[in-house]
A and B are shown apart, each in its own frame.
Chain A
Amino acid sequence: MKTVIKIEDLHFKYPKKSVFAGLSIEVKEGDFVCIAGPNGAGKTTLLNLLCGLLRPISGSIKIDADPVKSYSAKKLAQKIAVVRQEFVPVFDFTVTEMVSMARTPYLGTFGFESKVDKELIAEALEMTDTAQFASRLLAEISGGERQRVFIARALAQNTAILLLDEPTTFLDLKHQVRIYDLLKKMQLEKGKTIVAVTHDINLAAQYCDETLLLGPDTTYRHGRTGDVFSTEQIEKVFAVRTFTGRVGKEKFFLPLGKFAKDSAAINPNTKGDTKNNTPSLSP
């Protein structure tokens, strides 16, 4: 597998806070990588560095062996598609109009979609199951449907890499799972390399091959998701007591605060009962 994203010795800081000090990771083609960590650890900053919105202080970020800064906005948009949290646009675009904007980096001077563009748009609408409401306005559909529309747009952009910034925020459980299923489908069927920033470590554990866990004070851990997500790591990075269980091979983590109903029932070394996939809180 070739390396599609290579970050070497990345340093970045805001005026009053250092975010990255020597971050180095590689992402292979076709991998599904999640970036997790507490608020302020630099997850979205890293995404913005990857898509060229921010520039590193030192170190390099390469996409397909070329530094990000060597790409024009147009060329970079032909390599990377970005999906952020769903939103309602100021003006009333229909679902089709929104998805067809994906072809912006490919359009000529007068900017009309070719037959190939239209085929890609139709395919993206079909794959994301958004074709059924393609003529409706974005303001008229639910948050979960809107997020699928933005993923359809990313798909129609026809890039090898897909970056997502907390794609399931504000969505209910059903829609969270649908979004991750869709992303996995895109990884498996289309060979997309997917990098998703997420707060939901349990969904990440279920779907992502690799994880970059950003900790406080510019620390980080990168590797196979199952290796990176350990009880000790989660409790250390997020500074919260957790109950760890298993669903099949994958672990899940239940954060428990001081006043949670079953908080008193667990001690630091509590493990769940994996029989019949029904975790228990008894010691």
Chain B
Amino acid sequence: MAQILTSKKLLHNLTICLLILAVVMCLCTFVGSQRISLLKALKGPGQSPGYNIDYEIFIIRLKRVILAAIVGAALAASGVILQALLRNPLADPYILGISSGAGLGAVIAVLSGITFTFAAGSPMAVFAFCGSILTITLVWYIGKSAAKSQLTSLLLAGVVVNAFFSAVIMFLTSIAKSDQLRTTIYWLMGNLTDKSSPVLIIASVSVIAGITLMFTLCNKLNAMTLGDQEAHALGVNIPRVRLIAFAVSAFITSVAVSLSGLIGFVGLIVPHAVRITFGPDHRQLLPLSAIAGALFLIMADTAARSLFGQEQLPVGVITAIAGGPFFLVLLAKYSRKVSWLK
């Protein structure tokens, strides 16, 4: 009989992928426009700030690598969940309007000059998080009340809300001052700037908890990709699973967006790349996509901050430029043929 996914096999694949992630995280911490010495960096901060510059750069980069890992994992996991729920291979974490909601929140924060912070997050992060949560709630209720065919009406509600909020964003940016405009556009393109340790801790706990919760529903997600009638026949409580999955997906996407702005492509191509390589079983697809998303964004961000010396590109530009060809190569060559990981 052909292979069925076992916990042992999943553990084996997870271990390999986590090891690769750890190695890439270490390597990327030492890559950048400024060379640092590992030995010097490991000596610690020294007597005063600025005493050991290698250590300080190391810490800044480490935080950034961790941030990229959290955001990449969240976006990829969210993409997996939404592609399954909507049974739509083109779904990404922003499909239901989260991007425009978060963007609107961030633009309002910039234009109003608010300095309010919460849980160590910047005003833009706080407003973007609130904007995305409010938007997804709005889309959910519009979708639920509009029609019986909830998936289609959800998608349509997402498209309409997205278009409306995008128009509001364009209006607001058109009346913004030049420095506000630069901040806003930079945020909208997606970038991974320095975040404090408490923010990273809160974000990583939130994202890991969300992915773990979803992992317990993965066999039900498998059934839900076959449609409501099939999922019901296989004993899935559809309204419950759908609500939890949407809530988790919206939450982890909101966390990611509030930390990094709008980074496109990760949530769309990483799940597909993992699905092509390992198959569509969500028990494996979800955790491996999260790891692959983290890997991809860490490498993209390392390129974004290293390619042009002191100048940094928005990471969203790199993910889009590198992601497309990378995905096409995968699609053409490696379709479920990576034997050493099977």
Contact = CB atoms under 8 A, between A and B. Distances in A.
B235 A77 contact: yes
A42 interface: no
Contacts of B336: 92
A96 B1 contact: yes
Given A89-B226, A93-B279, 14 more contacts: A73-B235, A73-B237, A77-B232, A101-B219, A101-B223, A101-B234, A104-B219, A104-B220, A104-B222, A104-B223, A104-B234, A110-B215, A111-B218, A113-B4
14 contacts: A48-B229, A74-B235, A77-B234, A84-B230, A90-B87, A92-B336, A96-B1, A96-B2, A97-B5, A101-B222, A104-B234, A113-B4, A135-B2, A135-B3
A239 interface: no
Contacts of B2: 94-96, 134-135
A125 interface: yes
B339 interface: no
Interface string A45-59: 000100111000000
Contact of B89 (A91, A100, A121): A91
A112 B216 CA distance: 10
A92 B306 CA distance: 38
A131 B1 CA distance: 7
B308 to A, nearest CB: 39
B194 interface: no
A72 B283 contact: no
A89 B225 contact: yes
B235 A118 contact: no
Interface residues of B, number: 35
Contacts of A81: 233
A72 B239 CA distance: 13
Interface residues of A, number: 43
Chain B binding surface SS class: loop
Contacts of A52: 232
A211 interface: no
A122 interface: yes
Interface string B1-22: 1111111001000000000000
B279 to A, nearest CB: 7
Contact of B234 (A89, A102, A110): A102
B275 A104 contact: no
A109 interface: yes
B56 interface: no
A105 B235 contact: yes
Contacts of B232: 51-53, 73, 77
Contacts of B230: 82, 84
Most buried by A among B89, B218, B219, B230: B219
A65 interface: no
Contacts of B275: 91-92
B71 interface: no
A202 B31 CA distance: 73
B287 to A, nearest CB: 11
Contacts of A72: 237
Contacts of A102: 234
Contact of A97 (B88, B236, B280): B280
Contacts of A51: 232-233
When A and B form their complex, which 9 residue pairs have the shortest distance between CB atoms, in order from nearest? A77-B235, A105-B235, A135-B2, A111-B219, A91-B280, A82-B233, A96-B2, A74-B235, A134-B2
A107 interface: yes
A78 B234 CA distance: 8
A76 interface: yes
A92 to B, nearest CB: 6
A199 B234 CA distance: 25
A95 B279 CA distance: 12
Contacts of B226: 89, 101
Nearest to B335: A92
A110 B237 contact: no
Interface in B267-325: 275, 279-281, 283
A90 B236 CA distance: 18
Contacts of B237: 72-74
Contacts of B283: 110-112
Interface in B176-222: 215-216, 218-220, 222
A94 B89 contact: no
Interface in B1-48: 1-7, 10
Interface in A115-143: 118, 121-122, 125, 131, 134-135
Nearest to B84: A91
Most buried by B among A51, A52, A91, A131: A91
Nearest to B9: A112
Given A94-B279, A111-B216, A73 B236 contact: yes
A18 to B, nearest CB: 20
Contact of A90 (B4, B10, B219, B225): B225
A105 B234 contact: yes
Contacts of A84: 229-230
A118 B236 CA distance: 20
